[in-house]
Structure 1
């Protein structure tokens, strides 16, 4: 018992976990923070940032585990003095290193979750995605530690870092099922889509199965107990099953997500993704002047709807369909320009003459509320500049067809 207590005290004072926690936390926070979409608080993207951080944390944790494994071999003579199994010390080491890695991972998760919660968040955090990152991190720790036990050389930790780094970075997100093997390489989740729970669950199963198989194989190598082959085969079977399920997904980690829009209904009706509901007041302010100027024309609209990136934008039956990926500076002007672009016939305007393009630019500047451009027809510019707001609106109602076809001429401004 005294020898066992001595071993436990020595193990408790080891420095590897003390080094791993702050180092992994700092690297993980920076990596996840850079992966977050700065102006959209979407929980699915928060999970993606956390999972992608493991692609950097994993190789670092594996290298630290391999380094600790090589250093801790000096304690083997003390462990041999106890009646414990020779695998017990290694299992305790992996448990300590895994706890340190998970503590850092938990801190990173808390930081990105608080950042998302403090903004206009939407969706729900995928718990399975958080578990996928945690199990992948533990898998790296186990693989790195066992590599250090099998090849007790200082160079092993460097080899482990390089090998796991290549495994994490050699796959392109969204290309094939291969990219979904832990640690998964995930693309940013676009609005109106969400992470597929089945793919995340398969990632958890794959990591857990392979980690268990590695540990059981190592313990069986030390003890040579035949009964351990049964759980080893079961763990390998789970990994194989998860691989088959990931292959069947064909690399699709996201799918359509039913999301109810957030709307504001006066003086226009504007509906956007809930993650962007903070933009409703400024969008209302930016688009109301354009709606007022188009009132009474075939391009009039009373409703603005944000559509997924794959859906077409444009004007139809009083509804302006827009695309809005985020709230980067200038997003209001971007939306107004999208609505303006939907007013004209793209095919007809592709072959417009220079003078017609100048007239259209002059009218567009008024519709958008920007500075009037200089055009070659000074008389038309002077006449248009002297008209009141009401006169311009009446003129647009009378000449909207020519504006729509990019066929305005000097006669329209007489």
Structure 2
């Protein structure tokens, strides 16, 4: 999730359609049998807006080496919900404008179940070298429908300089420790006007992520292992109460109700936040900002100890209505190779899917957050892996937002969410 993932999509999609039309006649969806993955020529790569500036240089490398099979980058909005909706619209119209899709890991089951993406030949990809939780996000009913290009785990960014000056030796492992540390820091003259903590609380996929993390970090769960809703519990209420109470007592600033990833990043980098929950992509950007050398990362705190991140990241899949699928497979191999995911780690702090990269001593020396990130990924809890994910995340956002804004109590929001989730998964 990552979830970072405004709209130039219409014009770019039209460009992609023209390019696809110029290619050789590739295979269709192949849904009557196994996909054939035939056809070579221009393709498109569809993903959320690249806020790191690292994707196009990688595509330029591919295009230079494959002048007859060039890739056009179609950038969708940063809002994950808008990305998903545009990809679904393309699939439902059976348009060949989109070739390779960058899917949030929780969309894979939905897209596979609706036959919007093709089942992939697993032998083409080194899945055994990747972290097991990451690989599981790319499967549906035992088949491989996507290839992980990046993973993601939420981390706690914190101001090392201010904690040290306030006499706080270690980053917090619990919510109570975090608020206690914040109270000490805010007594410092340098912390005047600072807020304590923020995450992503606008009504979009980021809110689902932050809600799920709070619930899991308090010992609760959103659904059980079989996808059955189980959110109307005392443990889930403790998690939601942490967020609600933090807004009420201003531990979380009022304006954070509008925050997506980039809003929080900018607030942290401009000195407005002591703690921030965000994805690893932010690390390399913060290193280029005014807080360089003044921040660190730690596992997310929880109710009684370290918390649990939502498992994020992106998988690359082939649209079932695309042309030039042989090129698409080669391109996915290129983008998801260990070498190139290491490049995205170095240049954009994107969590790689390959296990070996987290244990590389040279990389750890250069990127000291890697052990924290590995722990975050391995401890992460997936968001509900259900086919009607759109209905599920919409219900979570609706009820969580109602609780955060005071429209409903935590207890009522969870009761209503339990009913909405039961209805969604029963369809």
Greater Rg, structure 1 or structure 2? Answer: 1
State the structure with bigger RCO (CA 8 A, min sep 6), 1 or 2.
Answer: 2
Which structure's residues are more often helix, by fraction? 1
Same fold (TM over 0.5): no
TM-score (normalised: structure 1): 0.22
Which structure's residues are more often strand, by fraction? 2
